[in-house]
Structure 1
Amino acid sequence: MTIYWRPSGPIPASFWPRTPVPTAMPSARSSPWPKYSTNLAARPTSSSPTPYPPPTALCRTSAGSTTPSANDVDPTGTTPAILLECDSIIRTGLLGLEGRTLINIDHHASGRPFASVNWIDEHACAVAAMVYHIAVAANVEITPSMASCLYAGILSDTGTFTYSSTTADTFAMAHHLAACGANPSRIARDIYLSNPASKIRLLGIALSNLQCDDDLAWTWVTSEDMDRIGAIAEDCEGVVNYLISIAGVQSAVFLREVANADQFRLSIRSKGETDVARIAERFGGGGHRNASGCTLDGPLPVALERILTQLRTGL
């Protein structure tokens, strides 16, 4: 049976056993919450060499396979899996999830109730904020390692606290997480000031392709471009933000060619009235009102014509 709840407004305080963000922010030493009552072998500790693990450390691959599988962690297939910010099993890129009990936590307006339990709150500033609320409701002691992960998620998902979803509650959570041991300057440096050279070279190519028409901006990179400079898909993160930052531009799109697929992955942004989530949904994608993504078939001129037509009409 599926439990699916999409609130029409912010989560009422009565939903939580206690107020999500304490009025008086406790320090990490004086946390009001008791320790875990269960034995979590994988629980991170403050003695970890880094506050949060690199993405490549979060999963392993099956022997002889390049695709990560949940069965590498639990061969029995009986352990429930919690999926964050995914609109389907396919989105996870993981094998071995079929038949498991799935818990879906998402904050995208286009979120889909595909799991056994679905918590979708499009008013939440970040999924990390939703996880934070769960931790508080469960009386979890937030360790420095946990605080770092949650702070990093909130920082990035709010566009460094610039998106419209950022509220006083967002800063209250950030305050509390810093008090619990998150290091804001280190986290910001690790996320935004530790780019590989390939990312900067790719940005140069994208900006050299920049096109503007009235309040619309767009650019692209090809798979050939990426191969030439040794760039990977992750290097494309954030390119579209340079376009939407242009004065007078209200909508922007960045297209990345998918190698050997004749397809383009689109990152779409807006800062006006255009609901880019609705536009992305027309092409099988989704996201937020001002930030979304989808995939279109090529070639490039065809993909550009399709998305630019939608952005120009604001549909």
Structure 2
Amino acid sequence: MVALKAGEIDGFMRRFGTGEIRSPIILVYGPDMGLVNERARFFAEKCTENPEDPFQLIRLDGDLLASDPARLVDEATTMGLFGGRRTVWVKPSSKNFAPAVDALLAAPSLDGVAVVIEAGDLGRSSPLRALCEKSKHTIAVPCYADSARDLGAVVDDMFREHGFTLSKDVRLAIISSLGGDRMASRGELSKLLLYVHGQSEVTLEDVEAVLADVSSLAMDAIIDAVFSGNPAGFETDFQRIVAEGTPAAVILNIALRHALSLLQGRIDIEAGKSSGAVVESWRGLHFKRKPHIERQLNRWTSTGLKSAIQSLQASLLDTRRMASMSTDIGGRTLLSLSMRRG
């Protein structure tokens, strides 16, 4: 397997599809589900002559493969009815579909087909990741929360595409208002682009009006209630923000990003760094939230945060599979976390 490092991925993606890079199986995984989906879509569409043709780009649910492992081999080895290179895009699952991938890797030939596997945050001991790491036919693309440099590139690309050149102050204000999830960041940038449509420039006032709104303060209150151990405060704020139209999946995504940031901070503390120093290095943190974050860092252990991250990822997948129950799923998971001792 070719396991890409974070700094190699952008260059790899630029070269991919030029003929220089070919691989029948691509594993895209990591904690940033928005970035995982974005990159999986890129590879799936790049490998397919006509992504709009359902006979060329076949989407399979991971849950289906968990119950029917032979289905992946059947789809990957079936000849296209009208010719053309075919791609099988496997969507995330809360179940283990490694046996389906194992059978695929044992197939005699994968000529004329690509398989893109979109997965969640796979630990080193994950059956799927371990299986792919042993194979010479796979490329692994990890997706971690965006750094300031990553966000800067996304911001520059999106605004350049719409004809805007950002001033240094405006660019910095936009980046500091975004989080680590790629899909959420693109959504926020799209809102800002819509707001400034028809203008010749983007101002700090525009950024504040769109990205630093009251809803973000309400969201902060929910997240702090969850990780500070305040179930009563969480329930009140959660019911209000959901009633105003915010999907539970969005709240779960933000909670997941927060848990990942807490985990990195907690690891630093367990390595000898003070909680105060960790809080001071937290990018984009409003000064009023600093005491809350420091309490959370001292309340949770790294083990507890890893368990919380797994719970949040599983609930996000459940909200996709059972959209009509997403509010109940998200509320139950977040309430449970607010009652944990860390």
Task: Flag whether TM exceeds 0.5 (same fold).
Answer: no
More strand by share: 1
Q: Which has the higher contact order (CA 8 A, sep 6+)?
A: 2
**TM-score with structure 2 length normalisation?**
0.31
- Provide TM-score, normalisation by structure 1: 0.33
Higher helix share: 2
